[in-house]
Amino acid sequence: MMKNKVLVIVGPTAVGKTLLGIQLAKKMNGEIISGDSQQVYRGLDIGTAKATRDEQRLARHHLIDIRDLTENFSAHDFVVAANQKIAQLLKEEKVPIIVGGTGLYIQALVEGYHLGGQENHEAMMELREHLSVLTDEELFAKIKKNGLRIPEMNRRRAIRALELEKFGASKEKNVAPVYDFCLIGLNADRSVLYQRINQRVDCMINAGVLNEARHLFEDYPEVQAAKGIGYKEFFPYFAGEMGLEEAVELVKRNSRRYAKRQLTWFKNRMAIEFFDVFEENYPENVFEKVADFLN
């Protein structure tokens, strides 16, 4: 039986995270937990690139369609819900597979800075900033001095353990268990990735994303969900301030820029091994890594 092992698939938009997640779920007896800030909203299917009904039949998905358009959803909300779902799946002896590109959500889950609720976020970030500049020797000396134990001596685990000590037990009765995360990043040559993004936007137009965007524009223009890329760019078009072609190009441009920001976040803020989705041995190289991790 696997204990506390969780897979995490991250990467830029349109790189192929959904497909890999489904492949791994089928191979490893897993279920998928969405790590996307927009897919939580009911009625926003096309613009958020939510797994289709056929895809959801291939692998069970969680944390999609759990909020109304008028509701907000934060990193704290995500971590609480994801931790509950992870615990449930592990109890059922399923492999939890987090799939998503919202860097803040993924980092919050993996590194645990939700502890104590949102009001402690700034204090947690200050502590993390202080700990991150310490040398390995200084960091591990703190672990030893505080009488803490971690499964293996790496910086991420050490910092997380010190954060848990300071903000966890005293602030929350039920501190989230320390899961063993396997982080898998997907990437592709930038020109190819941008081409895929442009093609995805064209497919979304054909699939009816304008209907979703118009619904937001007419009925919910101020809600959090309306600020998502793939929706807000069409508001000037609906208002008669720009043409459709210009709005579509704006979606493509903003999506490409978002992909670049996603990659920067994951590469600079988290220790993730990246795989090129166009390499000859992909996805077998990922399957091999995951099998080693789970065993």
Q: Is 133 annotated as a binding residue?
A: no
Taken in order 17, 231, 202, 55, is the CA torsion positive or negative?
Answer: positive
Q: Is 15 annotated as a binding residue?
A: yes
In angstroms, the CA 106 to CA 266 distance is 9
Tokens encoding 209: 């994303």
In angstroms, the CA 41 to CA 50 distance is 10
Q: Is 14 annotated as a binding residue?
A: yes
In angstroms, the CA 194 to CA 199 distance is 9
Judge whether 36 and 211 are in contact, CB under 8 Å: no
- The H-or-E segment that residue 265 falls in is helix 244-269
Q: Is 13 annotated as a binding residue?
A: yes
Q: Is 79 annotated as a binding residue?
A: no
Judge whether 197 and 252 are in contact, CB under 8 Å: yes
Q: Is 16 annotated as a binding residue?
A: yes
Tokens encoding 53: 């009904």
Judge whether 167 and 124 are in contact, CB under 8 Å: yes
Q: Is 177 annotated as a binding residue?
A: no
Tokens encoding 255: 């999506």
Q: Is 21 annotated as a binding residue?
A: no
Residues placed in the known binding site for substrate: 13-18
Residues placed in the known binding site for ATP: 11-18
Residues placed in the known binding site: 11-18
